[in-house]
Amino acid sequence: MALTNDIIQQQLQAKFGDQVSNFAESYGMLSFEVPKELNLKVLQFLYDDAELQFRFLTDLQAVHYPNQVGRELAVVYHLHNMVDNVRLRFKVFTDIQKPDVYSATALYASANWMERETYDFFGVNFVGHPNLKRILNVEEMDYFPLRKEYPLEDQSRIDKDDEMFGRG
């Protein structure tokens, strides 16, 4: 029997109950949300289950939602079952003041560099990562450049003519 999004959702709900939430299907890909304390348990279940077999971590990144107090940072995992050619996405949300999420490097070796990049640009602290340090930016940076904490442009600049940018 082919693996479908309905089967995946049923398996997750049977194992984790209502802790798995916000199921959606966009362009055929199942998406859902889990509490950050369960990210490794969900990853391990998706990896180990004989029917699910999500053994390839395609991508891991973060998104900053500045208006969601207490849930400002989302870590997004994209997994692939290569046997049935099925993909899924799930998110864990964390507070920007304490952005701790368990590292997936013990399960997926490919998570190593992706977690370092996510730390580098968003400041997510991957607890248990073997070498969590900046990977693309300089070590001296004291901010995380992809957070939406800064204005898009300096409004005090006088060397710009707004008419040249279609604003005047």
Q: What is the pLDDT along the chain (168 residues), one digit of tens a residue?
A: 689 999 999 999 999 999 999 999 999 999 999 999 999 999 999 999 999 999 999 999 999 999 999 999 999 999 999 999 999 999 999 999 999 999 999 999 999 999 999 999 999 999 999 999 999 999 998 899 999 987 666 666 666 666 766 665
All structural domains of the chain with their residue ranges: 19-142
DSSP 27-94: TTEEEEE--GGGHHHHHHHHHH-TTT---EEEEEEEEE-TTSTT--EEEEEEEEETTTTEEEEEEEEE
Check: pTM over 0.75? Answer yes or no. Answer: yes
Tokens of 110: 């490919």
What's the CATH architecture for 19-142? 2-Layer Sandwich (3.30)
pLDDT at 86: 96
Give the residue from 54, 94, 55, 52 showing the smallest Cα distance to 76: 94
The rounded distance, in Å, linking the Cα atoms of 34 and 27 is 21
